[in-house]
Amino acid sequence: MSGITSLRKAAVLLTSLPEDAAAALLGKLTEKQVEHVSIEIAKLGRLGSDEQEAVIYEFADANPNALGGDSGGIDAAKSLLEKALGKDHAGSTLESVEQSIAALPFGFLKDVDPQNLLTFIVDEHPQTIAVILTHLPPSYGAEVMGGLSPERQLSVIQRIANMGQTNPEVVDEVERGLEKRMASVMSQSYESAGGVSNVAEILNVTDRATERSLLDNLSQEDPDLVEEIRRLMFVFEDIQKITDKDVQAILKNVENSQWAMAMKGASEELKQKILTNMSKRAAEMLTEEIEFLGAVKVSDVESMQQQIVDIARRLEDTGEVTLSSSDDDSEQMVN
């Protein structure tokens, strides 16, 4: 523990305690002490249980309920400040904390995903990477390090171990260069692209023969992925888009009790689609059963809806119903 400063120990201890208890302790410090320890909390990354345990043993007796790797960060500092000082009085201290964090070398990286940083430095000289990582929280640096090749990892670690003191001008130069290169990343917002849902959307509008061929081939390598794709290709609400004939085929294979549970979370359009494809008596009985169920868990409704979707997909596989459109189908089926 000799290598850990008293200020860091205080920060680790405060983030290990329940927030109300930590705020009470923080409230007993002077304004300047609060600012210093809040800055240290904001600088903390993910805590290892070894360090956390050692700090707690040193400040108090063993407290196993506090062990387990809580985390610091600017949000943790803000929350503690507001509890300790009140929202009306925490503003100026928090502003000082944020300014101090921003002024730290490579402070602009605090909101950058480690994987984004990795793409910018992976081909840099090991010495440059070492300079950057020594100014980042250990947990953040570990994620970046994990993306390097084993050879590069060894070179970087060796340079960090032998670094000692670094010329501030060198640090400043590396920081300015990296910030300039990452300027576009810092100002961009990203959208999710690709993924299983995207595959499902594409296959939904692909002709049936191509869809079957692709999924059959893929199932030989990754059957679980195929199942996930199939589940997303046709969802419960899509039943309203298929023909009455196909709805009636599904109705023959699903019990009224199943429909009652599944339709608790269905749209009015889908309910009408189902009811109008039943006999008047069957529709009345189903409506009564839905009302009789009362309040039900959303998870139970979703589970039953998925069971009906699975039945529909099995019927499609045997050729009894058509759930997806094909090139020569004029009717819209599934979007």
34-77 per-position pLDDT tens digit: 777 777 777 665 556 566 666 665 654 434 343 333 444 545 55
- The answer to whether residues 224 and 179 belong to one domain is no
Whether residue 1 is contained in a domain is answered as: no
Question: Range of 201's domain?
Answer: 191-233
- The answer to whether residues 227 and 240 belong to one domain is no
Q: Domain ends where: 208, 233, 258?
A: 233
- The answer to whether residues 162 and 96 belong to one domain is no
- The answer to whether residues 93 and 65 belong to one domain is yes
Q: Residue 177 sits in a domain of what CATH number? A: 1.10.220.30
Looking at residue 103, what is its pLDDT? 47
Whether residue 131 is contained in a domain is answered as: yes
Band the pLDDT of 79: cuts 50, 70, 90.
low
Query: How does pLDDT run across 215-254, given as a tens digit for each residue?
Result: 888 888 888 888 888 777 777 888 988 999 999 999 999 9
Q: What Å distances lie between residue 214 and 29, 199, 206, 209, 334, CA to CA?
A: 66, 11, 10, 9, 18
- The answer to whether residues 79 and 115 belong to one domain is no
Closest CA relative to residue 117, chosen from 143, 138, 139, 98: 143
Looking at residue 105, what is its pLDDT? 64
For range 263-272, the mean pLDDT: 88
- The answer to whether residues 179 and 258 belong to one domain is no
For range 281-290, the mean pLDDT: 92
Question: The whole model's pTM is what?
Answer: 0.38
Dig out the tokens for 100 from the structure: 């101090």
Dig out the tokens for 143 from the structure: 């994620």
Whether residue 226 is contained in a domain is answered as: yes
Dig out the tokens for 41 from the structure: 């909390």
Q: How many domains does the chain have?
A: 4
- The answer to whether residues 95 and 113 belong to one domain is no
- The answer to whether residues 224 and 213 belong to one domain is yes
